[in-house]
Structure 1
Amino acid sequence: MTRHDLAVRARRAVTPEGERPVTVGVRDGRVVDVLVGDRAPLIARREITLAEDEVLLPGLVDTHVHVNEPGRTEWEGFASATGAAALGGVTTLLDMPLNSVPPTTTVAGLDAKRAAAEGKLAVDVGFWGGAVPENSRPGDTKELTALWERGVFGFKAFLSPSGVDEFGHLSPEELLTAAEAVGEFGGRIIVHAEDPAVLETAPPASGRDYADFLASRPDTAEHAAIARVIEVARRTGTGAHILHLSSASALPLIAQARADGVPLTVETCPHYLTLEAEAVPAGATQFKCCPPIRDSANRDLLWRALRDGLIDCVVSDHSPSTPDLKDLDTGDFGTAWGGVSGLQVGFAAVWTEARRRGVDLADVVRWMSSGPARVAGVRNKGAIRVGHDADFAVVAPEESFRVDVRALRHRNPVSPYDGADLVGRVRRTVLRGEDVGPSGAAGRMLLRD
């Protein structure tokens, strides 16, 4: 009998074939056997046997994380972000190209990012490139091609101001130019879809009342911008992805585009699925993000779209900053930085709400592991399958805990989940067959195949 490096025995495991008891054989960091039954005959140098209250999941894949290093490492960094990811069961993340300085809009920016990450990764990390006015002009898109050749997974674009000066937003003409260029080499463009003209005519955000901030980022801004992205994808044939969908009003538009064969995928985030505008306290700027957390009726429609397959995946959009930039002292939603910090607790937040709604754990795994891996093109991740990396999360799905923001691995103790009572504790995280902790450095930098 062939000897394995590791055997993982679980009475419950979420596999592509459904939830079942398995024995997983691992060799050289890859899954080489998935045998039915937790007592299947398999010889290994080392064994992990899950407790009766534990479930084996594939490592989660989070394709929307703002690590911010280099340049704004005081907001977050590779060591703290990947350490938080490991504690949350995330074994692979993709870093967004902005909020770091320089941004990942040039090869030089990508090289700076990789140099900053060296030796600091607790989990595997890949990189998105950025499409900005400087590299998305007609006849001058060579930097997009160069970034693609260096292994980025696709290109992020904003249609409205990003919040940082070094990452500009695209005009409609520049979006078309970028999409055409990205389509030439088979890439994907991922879009923060809010329409600047709608935002400019909306009432400005100011003060401590969350309703006033919500009015400053209306549903119509997302609807108009998503319509533009769909038209560009329809015209060019380039794959397009809608980032952090918060407004359910755009769902019929997305459904029609899908029916028409437009190459379009969609993500949403834990905060849109678990939080609601009606419950945001006055001055609680830790809840501010763009697009915003909307009301409970909107949240219900997002859950329905997930269950119907109209939304492809759930990712964190972890976008932290230092506490002073959140203006917690004044509680002014107009001036506070817009971004939710929740990388470490994203799975538990979603599972807590899913469980309340009668949604199966396998569905949550699909949305937070195989779905993001498929959408972003991250190969050999997101499933307990022969040939895939031996990345696992061992979860106690019925264990409850209260979030203490000061105990999270995130660099700064600011999160809307502080004090939340959640279920679904991650007890162990395994990367390529080895246990990984928050201070480990076994993660690798991933290139697009």
Structure 2
Amino acid sequence: MKQFDMIIKNGTVVLPDKVKKINIAIKNGVIAAINDELSFEAERIIDASGQYVFPGMIDVHVHFSDPGREYWEGFRTGSQMMAAGGCTTFFDMPLNGIPSTIDKEALYAKSDKGNQESYTDFALWGGLVPGNENHLAELAEEGVIGFKAFLSTTGNKEFENVDDITLLNGMKIIAGLNKVLALHSESGPITDWLTAEKVKAGHVSADDYLATRPIAAEAEAVQRALYYAEVTGCPLHFVHISSAEAIEKIEEAKSKGMNVTVETCPHYLLFNQNTLREKGAVAKCAPPLRMPEEQEKLIQLLINKKFDMISSDHSPCTSDLKDPAAYNLFQAWGGISGGQFSFLSMMELALKHNIPFEHIAEWTALNPAERFGLSSKGKIAEGYDADMVLVSVDESFTVTEDNFFAKNKISVYIGHTFPCKVMSTINRGQVVYEEGVIRSEQASGKWITPKK
């Protein structure tokens, strides 16, 4: 029997504190050695010459709609899509599936489906909705990664937004459970009122949609949540933040020592309101894509490391829900399908703005792992899970329906060319994706729960 299961040689490895050409040995799904003097006695040797080796991405925010709406996206197609984009662990949100993950029975149904069909590792969020506060403790005990709530109308009857009393009660309980509450932070009263005004007047263009979800709605919701967290002591994670004003409020909270983290999504960094004007419903999301000047502010905030992590908010649907012939823009599904392209997006931004690759590894792997207690993941180091993505900056990648692995081939990224390409993705020592195809013969991902 050979000493190692796999050796990755000649790759330029993105380590936590440096980028270095070095060899990596894998045994039993774990990184066994990192040095220049390996014996190369392995069952398989991957020559990564000319490629960068990053830790596999941990995407803390995806919607796979499974079980119940797997025809939108299920664990099988969703996890294959994530693997094709260099992601080795994803966190599935509690809504869009039927039932929503708001009690332990629903959690078991989802985890069972994931264990059967996911090609990469995954974690599961629990939900905070009106009336389920007494289920939060059982969800935490059974292994949810944290909890998710909406401050604005969800458009999903199975998962309602929280009122202020539910939010305060939930925050108090979640703080006592030592968990994190993730928040979709847009003011429901502001967005609902503005939407009603526009629809009543028959104003339903791309610019009208943007006007119904202003930066003020995001900033108000963020500030209110921070006040509530200050009162209850609840750790917060703000999802898909889209404005500099909201970041200012979060930075102020951090300066006071509050337990707060924040993510943004690649689509807010690569695209803007002009994209919605040009492409229509396929570019609709909430919060919306912002004006170009706000996009530039977000990119600068990223460069200045004001975001803790990057996530996709992969939010797929069937084509009829994005069909402009059947729906006006206000009626179309408000989500962007793009989980496969988050890591490539960050690489594009790094190459364009000279962002150190170590920062990309922090945003896409290390910080998510540390925030949510995944003690064996997040970096390339001995003893850690052998989760890696090999990427070339010498080849480009143009997104087409054929190379987009999602169930429904609908995305604002279709036609976009990245100045880099994912060559292979390795999950716990197993090559899941390589040379444009899924290499695993069967699903081998597992449900990851945080260390207690």
Q: TM-score range by the shorter chain?
A: over 0.9
Q: Contact 2:72 / 2:316 at 8 angstroms: preserved in 1?
A: yes
Partner of 2:244: 248
Matched, 1:193 2:185: yes
Amino acid at match of 2:189: A
Rounded to whole Å, the distance in 2 between the matches of 1:295 and 1:397 is 29
Amino acid at match of 2:79: T
Amino acid at match of 1:64: H
Rounded to whole Å, the distance in 1 between the matches of 2:393 and 2:375 is 27
- Per-residue deviation at 1:406? 4.1
Decide which of 258, 263, 266 is 2:262's aligned counterpart.
266
Amino acid at match of 2:117: K
Q: Deviations over 1:139-184 (max 9, x none)?
A: xx2x100000000010000111112001011111111110100111
Q: Deviations over 1:310-357 (max 9, x none)?
A: 210000000000010112325621100000000112211232133212
Across the aligned residues of Structure 1 and Structure 2, the Cα RMSD in angstroms comes to 1.7
> Which moves more between the two structures, 2-11 or 343-352?
2-11
Decide which of 155, 161, 177 is 2:147's aligned counterpart.
155
DSSP-derived class of the 2:325 partner: coil
Matched, 1:103 2:100: yes
Rounded to whole Å, the distance in 1 between the matches of 2:330 and 2:424 is 40
Q: Contact 1:210 / 1:282 at 8 angstroms: preserved in 2?
A: no
Q: Deviations over 1:256-309 (max 9, x none)?
A: 111111111000001011101123334610000001110122122222222323
- Per-residue deviation at 1:423? 1.9
> Residues 318 and 217 of structure 1: is their aligned pair in 2 closer, same or farther, counting only changes over 3 Å?
same
Decide which of 323, 342, 346 is 2:319's aligned counterpart.
323
Rounded to whole Å, the distance in 2 between the matches of 1:207 and 1:30 is 56
Q: Deviations over 1:95-136 (max 9, x none)?
A: 100000000000111011123223211100110000000113
Matched, 1:20 2:20: yes
Rounded to whole Å, the distance in 2 between the matches of 1:31 and 1:352 is 28
Q: Contact 1:159 / 1:225 at 8 angstroms: preserved in 2?
A: yes
Rounded to whole Å, the distance in 2 between the matches of 1:51 and 1:183 is 45
Partner of 2:307: 311
> Which moves more between the two structures, 435-444 or 283-292?
435-444
Partner of 1:73: 70
Partner of 1:174: 166
* Structure 1 unmatched runs, 5+: none
Decide which of 437, 445, 448 is 2:447's aligned counterpart.
445
Matched, 1:339 2:332: no
> Residues 332 and 283 of structure 1: is their aligned pair in 2 closer, same or farther, counting only changes over 3 Å?
farther
* Structure 2 unmatched runs, 5+: none
Rounded to whole Å, the distance in 2 between the matches of 1:285 and 1:154 is 31
Q: Contact 1:436 / 1:442 at 8 angstroms: preserved in 2?
A: no
DSSP-derived class of the 2:393 partner: strand
Amino acid at match of 2:415: G
Q: Contact 2:280 / 2:324 at 8 angstroms: preserved in 1?
A: yes
Rounded to whole Å, the distance in 1 between the matches of 2:99 and 2:277 is 35
Q: How does 1:87-102 map to 2 (within 5 A)?
A: 87-102=84-99
Rounded to whole Å, the distance in 1 between the matches of 2:316 and 2:11 is 37
> Residues 200 and 331 of structure 1: is their aligned pair in 2 closer, same or farther, counting only changes over 3 Å?
closer
- Per-residue deviation at 1:211? 1.1
Partner of 2:291: 295
DSSP-derived class of the 2:117 partner: coil
DSSP-derived class of the 1:134 partner: coil
Rounded to whole Å, the distance in 2 between the matches of 1:225 and 1:111 is 32
Rounded to whole Å, the distance in 2 between the matches of 1:224 and 1:208 is 24
Matched-pair identity in %: 33
Partner of 1:380: 376
Q: Contact 2:14 / 2:52 at 8 angstroms: preserved in 1?
A: yes
- Per-residue deviation at 1:401? 2.0
> Which moves more between the two structures, 117-126 or 75-84?
117-126
Q: Contact 1:234 / 1:263 at 8 angstroms: preserved in 2?
A: no
DSSP-derived class of the 2:331 partner: coil
- Per-residue deviation at 1:396? 0.6
TM-score normalised according to structure 2 size: 0.93
DSSP-derived class of the 1:398 partner: coil
Q: Contact 2:8 / 2:48 at 8 angstroms: preserved in 1?
A: no
Q: Contact 2:266 / 2:345 at 8 angstroms: preserved in 1?
A: yes
- Per-residue deviation at 1:207? 6.3
- Per-residue deviation at 1:241? 0.6
Q: Contact 1:105 / 1:130 at 8 angstroms: preserved in 2?
A: yes
Decide which of 53, 57, 71 is 2:54's aligned counterpart.
57
Rounded to whole Å, the distance in 1 between the matches of 2:404 and 2:278 is 24
> Which moves more between the two structures, 13-22 or 346-355?
346-355
DSSP-derived class of the 1:280 partner: helix
- Per-residue deviation at 1:201? 2.9
Rounded to whole Å, the distance in 2 between the matches of 1:102 and 1:175 is 21
> Residues 91 and 398 of structure 1: is their aligned pair in 2 closer, same or farther, counting only changes over 3 Å?
same
